[in-house]
Amino acid sequence: MPTAACDHGSAAATASRRRLRVFVVVSLALLLLLTMAFAVLAITALRRHPADTTISTIRLTSVSLSPGRLSLNVTLDVVLTIRNPSPVASFAHDAGLAEVYYHGVLAADATVPPGSIGAGSTNVVTIRLTVLADRLAGYAPQLYGDVFGGAGDVSLAVRTTVPGTVTVLGLLRHHAVVLTVCDVVVSVRRPGAQSSSCQYRTKF
């Protein structure tokens, strides 16, 4: 009888150890699958643009030009739409930079204020830029012709640089810089009328 009892106890202990091993193996397999799934989500989120910066509106709010002598006063209101297309990553951006170019010459720049954009969210930022006369001293005749001659359209290039941090599922963090260049045609005679095309690039 004691031998039978010992054999029964040994078998029970063996079965218990077997169940424990199965539990450990299954748990490790599930943990590995979750880790792989998280890695795939993270890579997918980081490969996409953490933010797309587009020009919603750009208005020439003040224009004063004189063809005879350099008298130039141009003020631009630029409305930027910063969109985060990722469903799993947030984007907290530091202060950025918006630059306006005319015929390849830097005409004006301004700071893009810092902010935070949740997954799948959009922020709208309005920036006012004043074109400095000395920056366009050699292009006053061309600008005068664009504003008062022809269709009254002014072609500009707007470049934005927005640095920040991408956070995936609140855990994985990665620094990123979102670069956007938009070619914009603004109508002086028809306020609000404009056309634009943008290109995006992200540096990690």
The reported pTM is 0.70
| Residue 84 exposure: Cα atoms within 13 Å on the Cβ side | 27
pLDDT of residue 70: 47
Sign of CA dihedral 28, 33, 34, 38: positive
Report DSSP letters for the chain, one per residue: -HHHHHHHHHHHHHHHHHHHHHHHHHHHHHHHHHHHHHHHHHHHHHHS-S-EEEEEEEEEEEEEEETTTTEEEEEEEEEEEEE---SSEEEEE--EEEEEEETTEEEEEEEEPPEEE-TT-EEEEEEEEEE-GGGGGGGHHHHHHHHHSTT-EEEEEEEEEEEEEEEETTTEEEEEEEEEEEEEEEESSSTT-EEEEEEEEEE-
Assess contact for 158 and 100: CB atoms under 8 A: yes
The token pair that represents 162 in the structure block? 């927005």
What are the backbone angles phi and psi of residue 70, rounded to the nearest 5°? -75, 100
Q: What's the confidence (pLDDT) of residue 193?
A: 54
- What are the distances in angstroms from CA 173 to CA 49, 89, 204? 15, 9, 11
Task: Walk along the chain (204 residues) and give the pLDDT tens digit of each residue.
Answer: 555 555 556 766 777 778 888 888 888 888 888 766 665 655 555 555 667 777 777 776 666 666 555 456 677 788 888 888 877 788 899 999 999 998 898 988 999 999 999 888 888 888 888 877 677 777 877 877 887 777 778 888 989 999 999 887 777 788 889 898 989 888 777 766 567 788 888 887
Q: Alpha-carbon distance 176 to 45, whole Å?
A: 12
In the prediction, which pLDDT does 175 show? 87
Give me the pLDDT at residue 28, please.
85
Query: What pLDDT score was predicted for residue 111?
Result: 92
- What is the pLDDT, as a whole number, of residue 90? 85
Tokens at 145, concatenated: 């012709």
Q: Give tens-digit pLDDT for 143-195.
A: 778 877 777 788 889 899 999 998 877 777 888 898 989 898 887 777 665 67
